[in-house]
Amino acid sequence: MKALIYYGNKDIKLENHWNDPNLNDEFNAIIKVNFTSICATDIEEWQFGPNYINPNDPPLVHGHEITGEIIELGKNINHLKIGDTVAVNNVIHCKKCFWCLNGQGGACESMKVAGFALDGGLSEYMRWPSSHLIKISDDIPKKYGALIEPSTVATHAIRKSGVKPGDNVAVVGCGTVGLLTVQVLKASGAIVTAVDIRSESLELAKTFGADYVYDSSKNDFADYLLSITGGIGHDIVFETAGAQMAPKISIDITRRGGKTILVGIYSKELTMNFNDIVFFEKEVIGTIGSSPGDMEAAVMLLNQGKIDPSSLVSDTIKLDNVIKDGYEKMNSNSKNIFRILVSP
């Protein structure tokens, strides 16, 4: 089969004769990949890695935001059937470590992630445990299934935050994950302020239901955000940009006693004054990936029409062109690219 193979730093190749996967276990399934979305983390791993990939694991199939159709099932699987369209829950937790046993699956010390520790979905076919495949409604266009994974990242962060209906919440950074966070927060009943420097991102945030949007490059940015909360500040702020100054901005606009949720991943070391946290009793919480139940919650929101990923698909390309029209284009730092979908 065709597959995009990660060999190491700046070393990816489209292989035309990679081994087809086999079931190998009565609880596995084989899916025919419909779409895999290219994420900024894939690009960072290609350009600067291996970061999240163990240097001893390559070569492996890249790609972790995946949807496909089941074409083969192990004999002991009853909750799925041949022909089902599924989202791939790309994180496998060990369910045995201290963190898993205490309901903190996102911190699992032995988690395995598709495209980083196990073969991913930038290929024609993929083997995955059936327990980590979630059926998508037939009413949902197949390509949007690949956007369930970043929706799950947003859902995980929001579930960890403890947000309540009526909370004043800000989202700093309106890329793909940030805009999905806006949508999930609105489904949770929060009052949402979207923050970015890109006008097109702020316009999308409006269409997704943001109550307020503001350009963080303006001089009166902090004063404006304070004014819309009656001078108190935001109860919860989600930092989804991954930019160097974004955590400080997020903590600054969090109210006394409020929470800052760090969702972004940072390529540069951050410096900050921790007294800004201590003196005002702010909580700072890091989140990554997902815990059990997060993807199921994201799929339910998609099936209910409360998440609309259609505007976040910047382009759809064929696997044959994945390096030039996918990875290289994403690496160009274009501010207008959200997700590029790859179809075999």
Mean pLDDT of 197-225: 91
Q: pLDDT of 293-329, one tens digit each?
A: 899 999 999 989 899 999 999 999 999 999 999 999 9
Residue listed under structure tokens 């199921």: 296
CB 331 within 8 A of CB 25: no
| Phi, psi angle pair for 192, to nearest 5° | -115, 130
pLDDT in tens, 22-32: 998 899 999 99
CB atoms within 10 A of CB 106: 21
3-state secondary structure of 72: strand
Domain annotation for the chain: domains and CATH numbers: 3-135+309-343 (3.90.180.10), 153-286 (3.40.50.720)
Q: Buried (b) or exposed (e) across 114-127, using 16+ Cβ within 10 A? A: bbbbbbbbbbbbbb
Which amino acid would we find at residue 303? N
Judging by beta carbons within 10 Å of its beta carbon (0-12, 13-18, 19+), is residue 74 exposed, middle or buried?
A: middle
Contact yes or no for 183/310 (Cβ under 8 A) = no
Which residues are CB-neighbours of 71 under 8 A, at least 6 positions away? 30, 31, 32, 82, 125
pLDDT, tens digit, 9 for 90 and up, residues 226-236: 899 999 999 99
**333 burial via Cβ count (<10 Å: 0-12, 13-18, 19+):** exposed
Residue with tokens 């903590």: 251
Average predicted confidence (pLDDT) for the chain: 93
Q: Please, which residues bridge with residue 67 across strands?
A: 35, 87
Rounded to two decimals, the pTM is 0.91
